[in-house]
Amino acid sequence: MRNQRKLLIEQLDQKLLPYQDAEKINVPAHGWIKSIRTTLNMTLEQFGNRMGKTRQGARRIELSEASETISIKLLKEAGLALEMKLVYGFVPVHGSLEALIEIKARDLARRIVKRTNQTMMLEDQSTGADHMNKAIEELTAEIREEMNRSLWD
């Protein structure tokens, strides 16, 4: 099961990789639809007709994209009306899913080890920093391998 999960993570990381460059693209303030439509010298009425909407309906679509309230379905339809294809995905904040899991596992391990060390301090059995760091590293590896749902608490 662990190997299967590791393989799934690696495969999904590979699928997300092409989106890394997309993160660098700045979305126009008034949205892609209006930018593309005006660049193509297409009127709101023409765009609306292509979408099966009125001029006002077409304007509402542009405004909903600009205000980030548009649905994916409507973005897809607008793209088709502009003879474009909608492509969407997610870009991992930490570079990859592997890195995200590592960060979460290390954070959880650090909290567990510190809590354990505090208990030991109260009992006057505290361990040194090197011992704590080694314990954190070992526990991080264990948590990462198990991929326990507690990572997301």
Question: What does the block give as tokens for 18?
Answer: 């092409």
String of DSSP letters for 24-87: GPPPPTT-HHHHHHHHTT--HHHHHHHHT--HHHHHHHHHHHHTT---HHHHHHHHHHTT----
**Dihedral sign for Cα atoms in the order 10, 14, 15, 18:** positive
Question: What does the block give as tokens for 25?
Answer: 């693209």
Q: How far is CA 122 from the centre of its chain?
A: 41
Put simply, whether the predicted model's pTM sits higher than 0.85 gets the answer no
How is residue 27 annotated by DSSP? P
Q: What's the pLDDT tens digit per position in 9-33?
A: 999 999 999 888 888 899 999 999 9
Euclidean distance between CA atoms 68 and 74, whole angstroms: 12
Q: What's the pLDDT tens digit per position in 76-135?
A: 999 999 999 999 899 999 999 999 999 999 999 999 998 877 665 545 555 567 788 888
Amino acid occupying residue 13: D
